[in-house]
A and B are shown apart, each in its own frame.
Chain A
Amino acid sequence: MSLLKLNALYQTVILEHAQAPHHQGELLGVQKTTLNNPTCGDVITVQLVVDADKINQLQFMGTGCTISQASASVMTDVLLGHSVPEAQALIAEFSKLVMGEPISAASQKELGDAAVLGSVAEFPTRIRCAMLAWHAAAQGLEEASKHE
């Protein structure tokens, strides 16, 4: 088997994020949003704090495959510091990206390391893994806006 094929999905950036995820761990006293992937049993919990309309804290917990862990890690990097509507727009752009739909060059840039996960579009069975943390964040943002 050609390892080139594995390299296409598991690019170095992704492997690095999965091995040493950013913003992983519990935020004490912050509301949790937990989602699971029923096909594999993976569970991800996202916690976020919105202050003056900016996401100023965002962390995740849970276990999962390389794709779901790396995606959760880049998600925290991408969304931190953004307003709720900006973050929601970025989540929508990321969703398009992993579904293989075209996104603007500006969105590509905004997504940073997350843009590398566009390779997931070639692996339809893994799209759910890539989206898990982002779906959890979207749900968390919705709950956070309700409380405001």
Chain B
Amino acid sequence: MAITEFRADFPILKTKINDEPLIYLDNAATTQKPQAVIDAISAYYTADNANVHRGVYTLAARATAQYEAVRDQVAAFIHAPQRESIVFTRSTTDSLNLVAQTYGEQVVQAGDEIVVTAMEHHSNLVPWQQLALRKQAKLSVIQLQPDGQLDLASARQLISDKTVLVAVAHSSNVLGVTNPIKVLAQVAHQHGAIIVVDGAQTVAHQPVDVQALDADFYAFSGHKIYGPTGVGVLYGKLSLLQTLTPAQFGGEMISDVTWERTEFAPIPQRFEAGTPNISGVIGLGAALTYLQQIGFAAIQAQEQALTEALLNGLLAQSAVTVYGPQSVAQHGPVVAFNVAGIHPHDLATGLDLGGVEVRAGHHCAQPLMQLLQVPATVRASVAFYNTTTEIDHFLTTLQAVKEFFQR
């Protein structure tokens, strides 16, 4: 089956926007959902809905089995050594906050150092910044090379024996670069620090092996990998998870409660207080099954062709500045740019009138915007279901919008 045939699995892609065919280029914000995911959620509510981990009746057992099967699926998908390492959360942000509120609270002390990078999304910056403020720890920022790639010399310089935690994006949601996690993990571990990886922009685009990366924690969201919103994943090394006291308490996470004390449920349940997003987890499972039917080889080949058309098309236009590496060899499926003299919001509105949906703003990376010395950028990001015809249409529309504002 040719990769382009999978496009038909996404019903929303037949929608019209402002009387023009929808060209969806905001995949870094959220991806569209294939029918298989929509159907799985609908089927769960139609035939299998019950609360998990408590009922003795058949329906509850069925819901629990489906929910727990996705844990196995996620573990296999990111090559976790065991299912207990997979904690379901609400989102990447929720996963990262979980690490800050457990590991961060319990391990970080005054005078310790936390290291982040200059390209972090607010979700992998603000939890550490706030933790550092609470603990009187120091937050340091790994700098970037002029082309937007991480400066490893800066990383080696900043990560020291005082460092307890390194938080880094696997791929940037602005610059399109993928960071050398394995190398950073090695440096962090040499100094006795752990590494927390934000995989939100990576898991939909390339195979991830948390063991090969030697990541201590790895977070991602369901909705950026063709699954529903409201479900996230936190992978943690079992040896680390075992040392942590949960940060949220209540239903689901206990094994025995008296008036005086509580024995927590085993890992990972002890980190999943309250009724979880059962339909969301089941939807995520359907998304992973769907993705594996296509295979990463086909996905990567298509996304690379799309990125090449997008990047080179933008670089060929006058007055356009592309942020991050200028060559497709280093640039992933996210391309942020500006047009001289035209505000990103105006460009995005113009493109929207042509049916092209792109993001304009700071992309939840305000410190990075300061570094790039811009208030905001436009960002186009592709998924395998986009076509080169769509990229051509985007480039033509951009040209027309530019001419309108430059007249």
Using a CB–CB cutoff of 8 Å, the interface residues on chain A facing chain B are 1-3, 5-6, 9-10, 39-43, 63-67, 123, 125-126, 129
Contact = CB atoms under 8 A, between A and B. Distances in A.
Where chain B touches its partner, the secondary structure class is: helix
B343 interface: yes
Contacts of B18: 5
Given A1-B400, A3-B404, A129 B350 contact: no
Contacts of B397: 1
A40 B346 contact: no
A41 B369 contact: yes
B401 to A, nearest CB: 7
B362 A40 contact: yes
Contact of A1 (B20, B346, B366, B405): B20
A42 to B, nearest CB: 6
Nearest to B353: A5
Nearest to A123: B349
B360 A40 contact: yes
A66 B346 contact: yes
B7 interface: no
B375 interface: yes
Contacts of A123: 349
Nearest to B345: A65
Chain B contact patch, size range: 20 to 34
B180 interface: no
B345 A40 contact: yes
A64 B361 CA distance: 11
A141 to B, nearest CB: 26
Across the A-B interface, give the 10 residue pairs with the lowest CB-CB distance, nearest first.
Answer: A1-B354, A65-B343, A65-B345, A5-B353, A41-B375, A41-B362, A40-B361, A66-B346, A41-B376, A40-B376
A2 B352 CA distance: 12
B344 interface: yes
A41 B366 contact: yes
Nearest to A42: B375
B361 A65 contact: no
Given A6-B404, A66-B405, 13 more contacts: A1-B355, A1-B401, A10-B404, A39-B361, A40-B361, A40-B362, A40-B375, A41-B361, A63-B375, A65-B344, A125-B349, A126-B349, A129-B345
Given A40-B362, A66-B346, A6 B353 contact: yes
Given A42-B375, A65-B345, A129-B345, A3 B362 contact: no
Interface string B306-349: 00000000000000000000000000000000000001111001
Given A6-B353, A42-B375, A65 B400 contact: no
A1 B343 contact: no
13 contacts: A1-B353, A1-B354, A1-B401, A3-B404, A10-B346, A42-B345, A42-B376, A63-B375, A65-B345, A66-B346, A67-B346, A123-B349, A129-B345
B189 to A, nearest CB: 37
Give the most central of A1, A39, A65: most B CB within 10 Å: A1
A6 B401 contact: yes
Contacts of B376: 40-42
Given A6-B404, A10-B404, A40-B375, A65 B346 contact: yes
Contact of A6 (B345, B350, B366, B375): B350
Interface string B387-407: 000000000010011001100
Contacts of B354: 1
A131 B336 CA distance: 27
A88 to B, nearest CB: 28
A10 B355 CA distance: 18
A126 B361 CA distance: 13
Interface in B362-392: 362, 366, 369, 375-376
A87 to B, nearest CB: 27
B344 A40 contact: yes
Give the most central of B346, B360, B369: most A CB within 10 Å: B346
A66 B362 contact: no
A44 B45 CA distance: 48
A67 B401 CA distance: 15
A64 B343 contact: yes
Contacts of A126: 345, 349
Give the most central of A41, A43, A67, A123: most B CB within 10 Å: A41
B94 to A, nearest CB: 21
A44 to B, nearest CB: 12
Given A1-B397, A41-B366, A41-B369, A9 B361 contact: no
Contacts of B355: 1
Nearest to A1: B354
B354 to A, nearest CB: 4
